[in-house]
Amino acid sequence: MQTSPLDIKPATWRQDEEISIFSDAAGQFFERECVPHVQDWRKAGIVPREIWTKAGQAGLLGASISEEYGGAGGDFRHEAIIIEQLQWKGVDGFGITLHNAIVAPYIEAYGTEEQKRRWLPKLASGELVAAIAMTEPGTGSDLQSIKTTAKKDGNGYVVNGQKTFITNGQTANFILVCAKTDSAEGAKGVSIVCVETDEAEGFRRGRNLEKLGQHAADTSELFFDDVKVPADNLLGEAEGRGFFQLMEKLPQERQIVAAQGMGMIERALSETIAYVKDRKAFGKSILEFQNTQFKLAECKTEATVAKVFVDRCTQLLVDGELDSATASMAKYWVTDLQCKIIDECLQLHGGYGYMDEYPIAQMYGDARVQRIYGGTNEIMKVLIARTL
């Protein structure tokens, strides 16, 4: 699918000619370099390392990193376009968005000048592949309760602990590790320590976890046993800022999940409309049954409402005005809708919808986690409820 099946006048932020050129270029890159291989990547459970380098050469990594730090100098609109193109083309599992739009912004926003100069150009080229490690076997939603520690030791930190469910976990060589620099404290004891894993003794990757969907994404356990990290690798100038840095940046992560959901909804609708026009039963196309028309009319209506809201949130984010509650609304509502629409679309495929070789079956598996990661949809409601 190249375009949206929705008939909406493009949001203002999309009307910039440069955005349209970027969208075409990103789409062509994914079409050429990824689409022919996606099914192999799903079987392998990982995307190959070379694709990161190719994306770096194509200017897609670091799309929103400033030019002075080796990036393309774009903003969140460019990331939103990458997300959309990945979803429209069904490129599941290439963790470029986590690298670009989740990890890099922490460095650009909170890193010291030296840290920005050291890491951002390598993130933009693909020399470094990024991950962020918050979740542990014993805690996910309750981030303040993490057990991983980063203890001051001479001129550095020693990191100990275990992380799980980490996206890009098998590939990443630059990991933002959320750890306690003061175990006696809750939120105030959390810091983010940047671990360059290529030469980190005591760092170990666990299993590439088998999942219900998103099979091409490598999702892993990570182990830190007395990993020595230079003091300069503490993100920012002071200890104990990690939780607050996360709270400031998580709205962007939630908007990303909403945008991913939106892109997949559009793909599911396109695939299904084409399928029901083609498939026949009782001498007519499936689309000619009024039930099919009503179901798809409902889906298209809800998708249209969602798209307007997601595009509005993108604009708010670009303007620096997307608050936590609004981002949470987008994340929870769009991902619930994503699962609902994909379920309806799968039903309209009949038995073929259950066959893994059909995109709708893959989308069904891929969509489910959207309600869980980036903060569960229940946690989104907790955040929204605080504004009541």
Ligand X SMILES: Cc1cc2nc3c(=O)[nH]c(=O)nc-3n(C[C@H](O)[C@H](O)[C@H](O)COP(=O)(O)OP(=O)(O)OC[C@H]3O[C@@H](n4cnc5c(N)ncnc54)[C@H](O)[C@@H]3O)c2cc1C
Q: Which residues bind ligand X (CB under 6 A)?
A: 131-135, 139-141, 165-167, 211, 214, 219, 369, 372-373, 375-376, 378-379, 382
If the CB atoms of residues 58 and 128 are measured against ligand X, the closer one turns out to be 128
How remote is the C-alpha of 358 from its chain's centroid?
Answer: 23
In this structure, what are the phi and psi dihedrals at residue 28, rounded to the nearest 5 degrees?
A: -65, -40
Specify whether 253 is catalytic.
yes
Report the largest interatomic distance among the alpha carbons of the chain, rounded to a whole angstrom.
Answer: 79
Say how many Å lie between the first and final Cα of the chain, rounded. 40
At closest approach, how far in Å is the CB of 10 from ligand X? 31
Residue 302, helix vs strand vs coil = helix
Q: What is the dihedral of CA 274, 275, 279, 284, to 10 degrees?
A: -50
Pick the closest to residue 181 from 208, 167, 211, 161 (CA basis): 161
At closest approach, how far in Å is the CB of 140 from ligand X? 2
If the CB atoms of residues 153 and 378 are measured against ligand X, the closer one turns out to be 378
Contact 285, 279 (CB under 8 A): yes
253, 271, 357, 378: the active-site residue? 253
At closest approach, how far in Å is the CB of 162 from ligand X? 12
If the CB atoms of residues 275 and 332 are measured against ligand X, the closer one turns out to be 332
At closest approach, how far in Å is the CB of 340 from ligand X? 18
If the CB atoms of residues 84 and 366 are measured against ligand X, the closer one turns out to be 366
What letter does residue 202 receive in the DSSP assignment? T
In this structure, what are the phi and psi dihedrals at residue 60, rounded to the nearest 5 degrees?
A: -90, -30
Q: Which residues are annotated as catalytic?
A: 253
